[in-house]
A and B are shown apart, each in its own frame.
Chain A
Amino acid sequence: DAGVIQSPRHEVTEMGQEVTLRCKPISGHDYLFWYRQTMMRGLELLIYFNNNVPIDDSGMPEDRFSAKMPNASFSTLKIQPSEPRDSAVYFCASSLDTSGANVLTFGAGSRLTVL
């Protein structure tokens, strides 16, 4: 398996523009997570899905952020309109379940810079 695949790896955009980040989880993993990482706040959970259904979106900063998972092999995180404070690395991760011994596998991340 190629692991969790994210695109784009880097995105530079101007304030006010729409940004769409994409993720392909590991096949067979029922859980998909979106995290944001910044120097100030570390890794923060934004939202996670179980079997394509959003379970907890309490970490989504505001209405400008939305996430979808139309099928088991694809998810998107959209920011519209983007703001400079959204600049961060966004990670997608997947796992078989949320039990104790289960490993959470991260993608390589999408580095977003909003000018």
Chain B
Amino acid sequence: KNQVEQSPQSLIILEGKNCTLQCNYTVSPFSNLRWYKQDTGRGPVSLTIMTFSENTKSNGRYTATLDADTKQSSLHITASQLSDSASYICVVSDMEYGNKLVFGAGTILRVKS
């Protein structure tokens, strides 16, 4: 069964610190990998989309990396802010099933002052 697993499940960091969230997947073949940010009480919002041929993509203080050989991705947040507190969801597009999106369970990040 195709899976997307994220770690850690939750994370607490101090404002201003950096952090890295991990995503391991078994979906194959895949067409793209996405990271979404979901604030409490809101819908997920896209941060980055990477195709299988891309290694890194940045969106402000967010940088996503992808290693298609090891089937791993990471989301690095630099100089965290209180507004970064949210759930971060890794999503892989399953090419074999018409690009059906396979969602990870998410990492809950809390940034403390």
Is B89 part of the contact surface with A, judged by Cβ < 8 Å?
A: yes
A55: min CB distance to chain B, Å: 8
Which of A4, A104, A108 has the largest number of chain B CB atoms within 10 A?
A104
Is B103 part of the contact surface with A, judged by Cβ < 8 Å?
A: yes
Q: Which of A44, A98, A101, A106 contacts B44 (CB 8 A)?
A: A106
Q: Mark B74-113, 1 if CB is under 8 A from A, else 0.
A: 0000000000000001000100001111011110000000
Contact indicator A108/B43 (Cβ below 8 Å): yes
For chain A, give the interface size range. Answer: 10 to 19
Closest to A35 in B: B103
Q: Say what secondary structure dominates the interface of chain B.
A: strand
Given A108-B43, A109-B42, A109-B43, also A103-B49 (CB < 8 A)? yes
Contacts of A44 in B (CB 8 A): 103
Given A42-B104, A42-B106, A45-B100, also A100-B46 (CB < 8 A)? no
Contacts of B32 in A (CB 8 A): 100-101
Contact indicator A98/B43 (Cβ below 8 Å): no
8 tightest A-B contacts by CB? Answer: A106-B43, A100-B32, A100-B31, A98-B99, A43-B103, A42-B105, A103-B46, A106-B44
A-side residues, CB < 8 A to B, are: 4, 42-45, 56, 91, 93, 98-101, 103-109
A sample of 15 more A-B contacts (CB under 8 A), given A42-B103, A101-B32, is A4-B43, A42-B104, A42-B105, A43-B44, A43-B89, A56-B98, A56-B100, A93-B43, A99-B31, A100-B51, A100-B93, A103-B46, A103-B49, A104-B34, A106-B45
